A and B are shown apart, each in its own frame.
Chain A
Amino acid sequence: GAGVSQSPSNKVTEKGKDVELRCDPISGHTALYWYRQRLGQGLEFLIYFQGNSAPDKSGLPSDRFSAERTGESVSTLTIQRTQQEDSAVYLCASSLARRGSSTDTQYFGPGTRLTVL
């Protein structure tokens, strides 16, 4: 497909378990973002990957959250020892942006709805 894909679409887990969320960006997009959206709220930035540069992790809420990206392709967001407050929709977006580029538009995936019981 041409868009950003995410898997799974829904994940229900028990408190204390680890979860891994996957994002496949649009082919050729060098930038990849993860956001969290709690029910009825706006988007909260988590982490940003740009090519081979060190990721911007400034939005990760705790050390239980980590993310990796292989080159300019798939990214995984891992939440360890999940808590109930981690319940949210996790959105991934990708864009063509390169450092120094003057334009950048993010295209979003459908999200993964995480429910921690």
Chain B
Amino acid sequence: AQKVTQAQTEISVVEKEDVTLDCVYETRDTTYYLFWYKQPPSGELVFLIRRNSFDEQNEISGRYSWNFQKSTSSFNFTITASQVVDSAVYFCALRFTTSGTYKYIFGTGTRLKVLA
């Protein structure tokens, strides 16, 4: 089965704290892609990162970092020194191929509230 689990429904932190959003996935495919999207209160989904299944290097982009571990089927997202503007719903997604077409499965999202 193909599945994405974001067990944390909502997280509240105080500004400047670090926070990690968890994503666990299931797939039978050997080649797949994982994504993180941000959905701010305005509603529009914003692409953050794409990672393919053959690249387990962790990535850092400013205050954002991602930890991909195939051994635990996880693709966790950490925000360092969180800011109020980071408040949003964050979605993890899995792209796999079935019958020659791409399919995406999204997690249910984690709502992050950063308090001033």
A108 CB contact (under 8 Å) in B33, B44, B108: B44
Of A31, A91, A97, A108, the most chain B CB neighbours within 10 A belong to A108
Task: Count how many pairs of residues, one from A and one from B, have CB atoms less than 8 Å apart in the complex.
Answer: 55
B102 CB contact (under 8 Å) in A41, A97, A108: A97
Interfacial chain B residues near A93, Cβ < 8 Å: 45
* Contact bitstring A17-54, B, C-beta under 8 A = 1, else 0: 00000000000000101010000011101001010010
Q: Provided the pairs A42-B91, A99-B100 are in contact, do residues A107 and B47 lie with their beta carbons within 8 angstroms? A: yes
* Contact bitstring A55-76, B, C-beta under 8 A = 1, else 0: 0100000000000000000000
* Contact bitstring B61-79, A, C-beta under 8 A = 1, else 0: 0000000000000000000
Q: Check B105 against A45 for contact (C-beta < 8 Å).
A: yes
Q: Check B104 against A106 for contact (C-beta < 8 Å).
A: yes
